[in-house]
Amino acid sequence: MAKLNQIIAVEKGVKSKSFQELTQAHQALQKLPPLSGISRTYQPKDEEGEQLPPESTRVQVKAEDTLRQVAATLTRLFDVTATKDWANCTARADVTVDGRALLREVPVSYLLFLEKQLKDLHDFVRKLPVLDAAESWTYDASTDVWRTEPVRTVKTKKVPRNHVKAEATDKHPAQVEVYYEDVPVGYWTTVKFSGALPAKRVNELLDRVEKLQDAVKYAREEANSAEVTDRHVGQAVFDYLFQ
């Protein structure tokens, strides 16, 4: 008795072969010359006339034969697909994480859905914003965000100063150069806030998603290893269609 994963493995090849042969059959029936035949003989008007050999062309393609070939090819496809789809209705497995069955008796179709969703969730979690590692953060329950300790910095103001390079004399004025000096005028106290997540939290979330991804894959493999009952529906379909 075959297993579901074996049926899934051959289904793609059967589909491809069926499509190719159906296309070839369709193209063959669109060409009139192979479908046509002829037979003719020549008789001269009198015994002295020129004798010509008979001519004939055989029919190379018969529509009924093509129908039988198409039915045979598609019957295999119909049977393989039916076997897979009927099996998918009964093939189930538990999704187990850390020894605990998180989900029980999950059908294959839903396991495939979970795989896709968890891949998208993994991409989402991996790109979550992370707190700046250059700062020291603590959680502030009153604002429900992360905050840094207050940092006090000096605010300065540039004040012009005069530097006398040469004193005034009775012949020359004083030579004075203006420069600016930073003079403290106050203090800033800064607290930074952030709605991002600690790197540890993001790594924990990623670890959970990856564990569940692995569990779903194992469950799918288990479900796909279930034995299947061969279904034979193609003949009934084509007995009705082509007979």
* Count of domains observed in the chain: 3
| Same-domain check for residues 167 and 202 | no
- Asked if residue 109 and residue 39 are part of one domain, the reply reads no
Distance CA 33, CA 35 (A): 5
Q: What share of the chain in percent tops pLDDT 70?
A: 99
Q: Do 5 and 38 sit in the same domain of this protein?
A: yes
The predicted pLDDT at position 10 comes to: 87
User: Which comes out higher in pLDDT, residue 105 or 27?
Assistant: 105
Residues 102-122, buried b or exposed e (16+ Cβ, 10 A)? ebeebebebbeebeeebeebb
* End-to-end alpha carbon distance in the chain: 31
Backbone dihedral angles phi then psi of residue 237, each to the nearest 5 degrees = -65, -50
Q: Are residues 8 and 85 in the same domain?
A: yes
pLDDT per residue over 165-223, tens digit each? Answer: 777 777 778 787 888 889 999 999 999 999 999 999 999 999 999 999 999 999 999 99
In terms of domains, do 73 and 54 share one? yes
Average pLDDT rounded to a whole number, residues 19-45: 81
Q: For residues 15 and 43, state if they share a domain.
A: yes
How far is the C-alpha of 51 from the C-alpha of 57, rounded, in Å? 20
| Cα separation, 16 vs 24, whole angstroms | 12
Range of the domain at 66: 1-91+229-243
For the ranges 98-112, 116-130, 150-164, the lowest mean pLDDT is seen at 150-164
Residues 40 and 9 in one domain: yes
Q: What is the mean pLDDT of residues 137-151?
A: 94
